[in-house]
Structure 1
Amino acid sequence: MTILVTGATGNTGRHVVAELLRRGAAVRALTRDPERAAGLLPAGTELVPGTHTEPGALDAALDGVAGLHITATAGVADTGPELVRRAVAAGVERITILWGGYVGPAETAVAESGVTWTRLEPQEFMSNALTWAESIRAEAVVREPFDIPSAVVHEGDLGAVAAIALTEDGHAGRAYNLNGPEPLTTGERVALLAGALGRDITFEQIGRERAVERLLREGVSPADAEYVVGWHADPPAAARIPDGTVDRILGRPARTFAEWVTEHKARF
C-alpha cells in the first residue's frame, strides 16, 4: 500500500514518513523541493514534486495511492475540500488529517469524504521550544508572556499515531486529542533545558501586547497573532490535562519533554 504524505519535510510530516517506513509501508512524500527533501527524509522515500495547496496538479502524485496524510496548514483551509475530492476520486481509501487547531473546511471535507478517516488534534508541540534557540544561544534568555502549564506532545508521537491510523484498523471516524504525559509551565520547560545544557537560562515574562507585536514582526496576521497569544493565555483543558490517548494507541508511554530535550539540545 502506497501512502502519500503532504507536508512531508515539516515539523510533523517527517515523523509520519519515518514511522510509516518503519512499519513497512511504501511512502510517497509530496514536496515543493525534492532535491532538498532528499537530504531530510529517510532512504526509501519516494519524492514527488507538488504542494497540497495546489490540488489540481496532484493527479500524478495521487495515482496508485491508498492512504493520504494531510497537514491542515492555513493554505489548506481553501484548497482542502478539492484535495480530498481528488484523493477519493483517485481511489484513496484512508485519510489522516492533522488539524489546524479547529475543525475547518479541510477537516470537514475529510469527515464527509465517505472513506476511512482519522483526525489528529494535538494541542502544543514540544518542538515549539525551538523558537527559543536563538535567544538562548545569544543571551541565555527565554521571553514568553505566560507561565501556564501545558502537556506538550512529542511530534514523533504524533507521527507514530498517524502511521498506526493509516495502516491499522480500529481508528475510523475518530478525532484524537494528542498531548504529552505531564503538564509543564514555560518556566519548568526552560529549567529542563538549562539543566540539560549545563548553563543558566533566564525566563523573562513579557506582556501580552509585546507578545502580539513580536508575532506581527514575524509576519503573522493580526487575527492569527491575537489567536495564538490568546490560546496561550488560557489553554483548553485538552492542552493542560494529560488524557493518555497517545499511550493507549501506541501501547507505550508518551515521550517526555526531558527526552525531547536530550534529542535536541545540540540545537540550543
Structure 2
Amino acid sequence: MYLITGATGNVGRPLIDHLLAAGAQVRATTRRPATAALPDQVEVVQADETAFPLDGVRAVFVNPAAIGNGLDALLTQAKAHDVRRVVLLSTSAVAVPGNPIGEHHRELEQRVMDSGLPWTMLRPGAFNSNTLAWATEIRTEQVVRAPYGEARIAPIDERDIAAVAGEALLSHDTDRLHNAAPVLSGPEVLTTADQVRDIAAATGVSLRFEEVSPEAARQSMVEAGVPAFAVDGVLGYYAHATHHPTTVSPVVQEITGRAPRRFADWAAEHAAAFSTTH
C-alpha cells in the first residue's frame, strides 16, 4: 500500500495513475473526498494534519502544500508504522541562495532527513502548469506580461515528476533513489518568450511577450492573492536563472527510461485553457 498526500494535485493525480498501472494498492488523502473523482480502486481518506492513515503503508508521497503543518506528525507516525520511504516533493530552488521558497523546502528536507526514515527528495524546477497563470491575459489581450525575459529555465511536465516519484515509491527497498535528492527538469532550456511562442503555435493565435519590471510583477501577484514569500521566491528563481541558466537534468530519462515531455507538447494538450473559446 502506498499513501499519496495531495492526491488531486498536479503531481499527486498522475502519480496515482502511475501506481495503479503498476498494480499497486493506493490510499489517498484529500481535503474534499466527495469531489476527488479518483479511480474506484483508490482508497480515499479525508486529509487530517494530525493523523495519517498509515496501516500497511510501505512508502509515502508527501506534498508539503497538502499537509499544512502536519509534517512532524506524519514523520513520527510513519516511523511507528515502519514506513520504508518518504518521498518529499521539494524544489530545485533549494540551491538558489536566499530564495525563500528554497529555504522553506530546505528546512522541510532537513526534518525528513532528521527523522531517520529512508527518503527521496524530488527537486523539480518550474512546472509547465505554472503558465496557466497567463491564461486570462492570453485570452483577453493576446499578451503575456512577465519579468526577467532572459531567464532560461527547463520547465517540467508534472507527469514526469509523478513518474519519478512513482519509481521512488515502488522501489523503496534499495535503488539509486535511496536517500537521494535528484534535480528534475524538462528536456530543453526555454525563455518566457519561447514558452509564449509554443502556446501561440498550440492555439493558432498570434501572441506577444511584454517584459515588465520585477516591482510591477510583484505588485500584480500580491494583489492577486499570492503570498508575499511565494512571490519573492518565484521572482528570485527567475532572477537567478537570468544569470545562471538552468541545466537540463538527465534524471527523468535515467529513472523512467524515456525522455521527459517537451513544453510544446504540453501546450498543445492544454491549448483549450488559453483559447478565447475556453
Normalised by the size of structure 2, how large is the TM-score? Answer: 0.87
Partner of 1:219: 225
Cα distance change on mapping 1:237 and 1:126 into 2, 3 Å: farther
- Provide, for residues 99-135 of structure 1, a one-character-per-residue CA deviation record: whole Å limited to 9, x for no partner: 1543434322222333321110001111111111121
Cα distance change on mapping 1:260 and 1:138 into 2, 3 Å: same
Structure 2, unaligned runs of 5 or more? 94-101
Alpha-carbon distance between aligned partners in 1 of 2:251 and 2:132, rounded to the nearest angstrom: 25
Alpha-carbon distance between aligned partners in 1 of 2:9 and 2:265, rounded to the nearest angstrom: 20
Partner of 2:139: 137
- The DSSP-based 3-state class of the residue aligned with 2:226 is coil
Partner of 1:255: 261
Partner of 2:44: 47
- The DSSP-based 3-state class of the residue aligned with 1:104 is helix
- In the alignment, does 2:51 pair up with 1:57? yes
Partner of 2:270: 264
The AA in structure 1 aligned to 2:78 is A
Residue 181 of structure 1 contacts residue 242 of structure 1 at CA under 8 Å; is this kept in 2?
Answer: yes
Structure 1 residue 239 displacement after superposition: 6.5
Residue 152 of structure 1 contacts residue 239 of structure 1 at CA under 8 Å; is this kept in 2?
Answer: no
Alpha-carbon distance between aligned partners in 2 of 1:214 and 1:234, rounded to the nearest angstrom: 20
The AA in structure 2 aligned to 1:81 is D
Structure 1 residue 43 displacement after superposition: 3.7
Cα distance change on mapping 1:82 and 1:105 into 2, 3 Å: farther
1:31-180 paired onto structure 2 within 5 Å: 31-38=30-37, 41-51=38-48, 54=49, 56-58=50-52, 61-73=53-65, 76=68, 78-99=69-90, 101=93, 102=102, 103-147=105-149, 148-168=151-171, 169-170=174-175, 171-180=177-186
Structure 1 residue 211 displacement after superposition: 0.7
Residue 57 of structure 2 contacts residue 83 of structure 2 at CA under 8 Å; is this kept in 1?
Answer: yes
Alpha-carbon distance between aligned partners in 2 of 1:57 and 1:117, rounded to the nearest angstrom: 20
The AA in structure 1 aligned to 2:156 is V
Structure 1 residue 248 displacement after superposition: 0.8
Structure 1 residue 142 displacement after superposition: 1.0
- Provide, for residues 47-104 of structure 1, a one-character-per-residue CA deviation record: whole Å limited to 9, x for no partner: 11114xx1x232xx2222111000122964x431221111111231121000154343
The AA in structure 1 aligned to 2:64 is A
Alpha-carbon distance between aligned partners in 1 of 2:118 and 2:243, rounded to the nearest angstrom: 28
Alpha-carbon distance between aligned partners in 1 of 2:26 and 2:190, rounded to the nearest angstrom: 35
Structure 1, unaligned runs of 5 or more? none
Residue 123 of structure 1 contacts residue 238 of structure 1 at CA under 8 Å; is this kept in 2?
Answer: no
Q: How many matched pairs?
A: 259
- The DSSP-based 3-state class of the residue aligned with 1:120 is strand
Tell me which moved more, 127-136 or 226-235: 226-235
- Provide, for residues 136-159 of structure 1, a one-character-per-residue CA deviation record: whole Å limited to 9, x for no partner: 112211111121211111110000
The AA in structure 2 aligned to 1:45 is V
The AA in structure 1 aligned to 2:18 is E
The AA in structure 2 aligned to 1:167 is L
The AA in structure 1 aligned to 2:123 is E
Cα distance change on mapping 1:238 and 1:264 into 2, 3 Å: farther
1:10-49 paired onto structure 2 within 5 Å: 10-38=9-37, 41-49=38-46
Alpha-carbon distance between aligned partners in 2 of 1:185 and 1:247, rounded to the nearest angstrom: 22
The AA in structure 2 aligned to 1:71 is N
- The DSSP-based 3-state class of the residue aligned with 1:30 is strand
Alpha-carbon distance between aligned partners in 2 of 1:205 and 1:135, rounded to the nearest angstrom: 14
The AA in structure 2 aligned to 1:228 is V
Alpha-carbon distance between aligned partners in 2 of 1:3 and 1:123, rounded to the nearest angstrom: 25
Indicate the percent of aligned positions where both proteins have the same amino acid: 39
